[in-house]
Structure 1
Amino acid sequence: MNTKHILSKTASHEAIKGEFDTCLLLYSGGLDTSVMLKWIQEQYECEVIALTIDLGQTADDLEDIKLKALNLGAKEAIVYDAKEAFAELCAEAVKANADYQGGYALGCPLGRVAISKIAIEVAKTHDCEVIAHGCTGKGNDQVRFEGYMTTLNPEIKIIAPVREWAMGREEEIAYAEQHGIPVIQKKETPYSYDENMWANTGEGGEIEDPKLIPPLEKILKWCNTPQQAPDESLELKIHFEQGVPVALNGIEMPLENLIQHLNSVGGEHAIGYFHLIEDRIVGLKVRGVYENPAAHILIQAHKNLEQLVSTREENELKHFLDSKWSYLCYGAKYFEPVMDNIRSFIDKQNEKVTGVVILKLYKGNCEVVALDSPNSLFDHNLATFNKSADFNQNASPGFIELWNLPQKTAYQVKLKNDLKEVLV
């Protein structure tokens, strides 16, 4: 197999062979990064430090991954616990009602923010001038990693082996077999996953082609299908303080624990998985299967509570800015200055998003059934259909006349002009 460099490097942040001795590799233990750990040693003739970051992923045995990296020749293997720090990013996603193109709560984009920050910190500590990642030349994450890392440290250099070697999935599997690298993927089960506590992303196989029906029973890792979900519904009560979930069913807990619990119960009830036709940053149209049960539950609860305590104008503007936040976060613009401005509004708006939300989960449906807040704008005496002196119904006709005046005037002018055209 020919694994020589075939890419002509043009960007100033791309690392050049012979100009460094040690590379920090973002190491997940999967197919791509396991192959590249060996490949970088061979092709760049340098030492490799493997960095594995714990973002609350459940499928990985992090100690096994560390041992695997060392067995593949890593100079050092670091496991970094970032669950608490990542949960803070998830809290920001809740306050922004994170949603990209219909159901994706931005697990990967947020994870890349956390990983980039930590990688720059670890690279500095270990005197690494070069960081390697496992992204392809067709994906979003290459843009996120390289954009964020060079933003946080303009002096850092990058290696992207998957972009250089031009091996497909089958060639990678063959390379792994030749070099004794243990991998999960086989040709008959080609699915690839990217997981953290906020989302699990499935790609490959039938998922790639929109004409094919993905066999969800083989693909889903966190979620049941509705057919597999329990026949009894589950009721949850979530308490929010200033937009952040702080308690579940009356029990206070750290957000990372609350998220992991909701992933479990939400997945059991088939909540929060989506087929998504997605527009990537690089211009491609692709399909993925996303599982984000906790994110879906929390965002549904938060969005409804936010609507209860906010005016119509606030909710309308918030919806627009939430959408902008999500598209910028997805599009590798987390450190763009305008995001600070958007965050200022979102944080201010969420100061009053405090209260309790009750949801019912049943066979894929996540329904908000009740909610209460000390900041609620609902007034029973005003809203009731029963007799009430607090709402002066006799004032309504005058309101209607003034409210309708522009519409009525414009319509009558249009009729007059239409008539003139007919007469001419």
Structure 2
Amino acid sequence: MAQLKASSACSAVTAPSLHRTGAHSDTRVVSETTKGGGLRGKLNKVVLAYSGGLDTSVIVPWLRENYGCEVVCFTADVGQGIQELEGLEEKAKASGAYQLVVKDLKEDFVKDYVFPCLRAGAVYERKYLLGTSMARPVIAKAMVDVAKEVGADAVAHGCTGKGNDQVRFELTFFALNPNLNIVAPWREWEITGREDAIEYAKKHNVPVPVTKNSIYSRDRNLWHLSHEGDILEDPANEPKKDMYMMSVDPEDAPDQAEYLEIGIESGLPVSVNGKSLSPASLLAELNEIGGRHGIGRIDMVENRLVGMKSRGVYETPGGTILFAAARELEFLTLGREAIQVKDSLALKYAELVYAGRWFDPLRESMDAFMQKITETATGSVTLKLYKGSVTVTSRTSPFSLYRQDISSFESGQIYDQADAAGFIRLYGLPMRVRAMLEQDI
């Protein structure tokens, strides 16, 4: 079904020893082979990741009908927009839910999930800045927390059996509370598309969302907006101009460039143009600034975790600006080998996040390295925004490894140019020996 999917979120990450319970218990997952038969009639209360769209509105009565359980809907605000949060309680209860739990977790999302990925330089397959990937463990952790609060014995999600999100949700459930049962309706029910869902909703007197159905499948949070489906399913098709929602077409962006200064402390952004801001406020402001200059659009064919390729278009205006600033400051404050090792680990870091392994000890250990290596990544970077492009114009840091007295073409006391001759002879010795051998042969 092609419809706008509202995101949900969670509370801040806690230490592993505090958020992992029952580590030796068996997790019972509803599989395709059992079609949920082993759990039906045995669940008392289920926490459902709820957006208020057609899919999750139908899942509520479906769970009650097939599992005979009480349904608690959960929605968390990670910046998907107020229009997606309005009237949710009425929709949830009209669909048969016992209650709706809503939490504003934008600050936690940016501080504890987005910024660590930014600090790590995590980019999936050269382009994707992991917008949806970072949000799913936030949602799933919140669901685990809410399940404990309301005494639920199961959690449910509306992810399809073809996508990455089902893995991201369920790996987080495994990591944080393996005692929870998991229900994934799309792997069980007979509903195959939008028309089936609408018919099911009418049969069960569920109010179908009256919002205009989008031809695209979208996921939005404070970091990004993704677009999939419709004409995008053919990689040969150019995206339509009116599809974008966070950024103007670069051709329509202002003819005057805008300069922007980003303040960074230990690899994390803290200010915009000298104004200190909270993580979520900082990102929101950069989204607005970058969006009006057409910054942060990418169009890519990516490899899904489940094995197939998919085509997606992403808008990440504020994130694109932050990545440019953070990387530039590292060029000033990190040595050559530190950058090389960090970049190599960033690839694995991105893969782990994309695959839903946020709470994997490997990612957590890598994050400790990223935090240590960026301790001196403090300073400011000035960027020029112009019609879709981000250009670095200035960078300063109290920990800069750049020394003008060494790098200057003028003579200096620290670096004697005459020393270069001996260095070149030693550095080039292997090549010289090989050439001598070839001449002898």
TM (norm. structure 1) is: 0.91
Give runs of aligned pairs for residues 133-172 of structure 1, distance below 5 A.
133-165=157-189, 166-172=191-197
Deviation track 1:26-54 (CA, whole Å, cap 9, x = no partner) reads: 00122322222232233333221110011
Give runs of aligned pairs for residues 44-55 of structure 1, distance below 5 A.
44-55=67-78
Give runs of aligned pairs for residues 191-270 of structure 1, distance below 5 A.
191-215=216-240, 217-270=241-294
- Return the offset for 1:387: 4.1
For residues 266 and 258 of structure 2, what CA distance do their matches in structure 1 show?
Answer: 26
- Checking the alignment, whether the CA contact within 8 Å between 2:42 and 2:67 is kept in structure 1 is no
For residues 93 and 6 of structure 1, what CA distance do their matches in structure 2 show?
Answer: 32
Residue 362 and residue 15 in structure 1: after superposition, are their counterparts in 2 closer, same or farther (change >3 A)?
A: farther
Q: Which amino acid aligns with 1:406?
A: P
Counterpart pick for 2:101 among 39, 58, 78: 78
For residues 202 and 211 of structure 1, what CA distance do their matches in structure 2 show?
Answer: 16
For residues 20 and 354 of structure 1, what CA distance do their matches in structure 2 show?
Answer: 51
Q: Which position in structure 2 is the counterpart of 1:182? A: 209
Q: Which amino acid aligns with 1:277?
A: V
For residues 397 and 379 of structure 1, what CA distance do their matches in structure 2 show?
Answer: 22
Give runs of aligned pairs for residues 373-388 of structure 1, distance below 5 A.
373-388=397-412
For residues 346 and 86 of structure 1, what CA distance do their matches in structure 2 show?
Answer: 18
- Return the offset for 1:15: 6.9
Unaligned segments of structure 2, at least 5 residues? 1-29
2:398 pairs with 1:371: no
Deviation track 1:220-276 (CA, whole Å, cap 9, x = no partner) reads: 111112112111111110101111111110000101100011111111111111111
Counterpart pick for 1:337 among 333, 339, 361: 361
Could you tell which deviates more after superposition, 154-163 or 309-318?
154-163
2:412 pairs with 1:412: no
Q: Secondary structure at the match of 1:339?
A: helix
Q: Secondary structure at the match of 1:299?
A: helix
- Checking the alignment, whether the CA contact within 8 Å between 1:176 and 1:183 is kept in structure 2 is no
Q: Which amino acid aligns with 1:141?
A: D
Residue 416 and residue 207 in structure 1: after superposition, are their counterparts in 2 closer, same or farther (change >3 A)?
A: farther
Q: Which position in structure 2 is the counterpart of 1:99? A: 123
Residue 410 and residue 64 in structure 1: after superposition, are their counterparts in 2 closer, same or farther (change >3 A)?
A: farther
For residues 234 and 107 of structure 1, what CA distance do their matches in structure 2 show?
Answer: 25
Residue 177 and residue 371 in structure 1: after superposition, are their counterparts in 2 closer, same or farther (change >3 A)?
A: farther
For residues 202 and 311 of structure 1, what CA distance do their matches in structure 2 show?
Answer: 38
- Checking the alignment, whether the CA contact within 8 Å between 1:358 and 1:368 is kept in structure 2 is yes
Q: Which amino acid aligns with 2:192?
A: M
Calculate the aligned-residue CA RMSD, in Å.
Answer: 2.1
- Checking the alignment, whether the CA contact within 8 Å between 1:116 and 1:148 is kept in structure 2 is yes
Q: Which amino acid aligns with 1:92?
A: P
Give runs of aligned pairs for residues 354-365 of structure 1, distance below 5 A.
354-365=378-389
2:148 pairs with 1:124: yes
Q: Secondary structure at the match of 2:96?
A: coil
- Checking the alignment, whether the CA contact within 8 Å between 1:55 and 1:86 is kept in structure 2 is yes
Deviation track 1:381-419 (CA, whole Å, cap 9, x = no partner) reads: 1111234444211111111111111122223334545xx
- Checking the alignment, whether the CA contact within 8 Å between 1:140 and 1:281 is kept in structure 2 is yes
Q: Secondary structure at the match of 1:223?
A: coil
Q: Which amino acid aligns with 2:97?
A: A
For residues 91 and 342 of structure 2, what CA distance do their matches in structure 1 show?
Answer: 46
Q: Secondary structure at the match of 2:83?
A: coil
2:418 pairs with 1:391: no
Residue 183 and residue 312 in structure 1: after superposition, are their counterparts in 2 closer, same or farther (change >3 A)?
A: farther
For residues 90 and 27 of structure 1, what CA distance do their matches in structure 2 show?
Answer: 22
Q: Which position in structure 2 is the counterpart of 1:37? A: 60
Q: Which position in structure 2 is the counterpart of 1:309? A: 333
Deviation track 1:306-339 (CA, whole Å, cap 9, x = no partner) reads: 1210110101001001111111111122222222
Unaligned segments of structure 1, at least 5 residues? 418-424
For residues 140 and 416 of structure 1, what CA distance do their matches in structure 2 show?
Answer: 59
For residues 148 and 185 of structure 1, what CA distance do their matches in structure 2 show?
Answer: 33
- Checking the alignment, whether the CA contact within 8 Å between 1:52 and 1:66 is kept in structure 2 is no
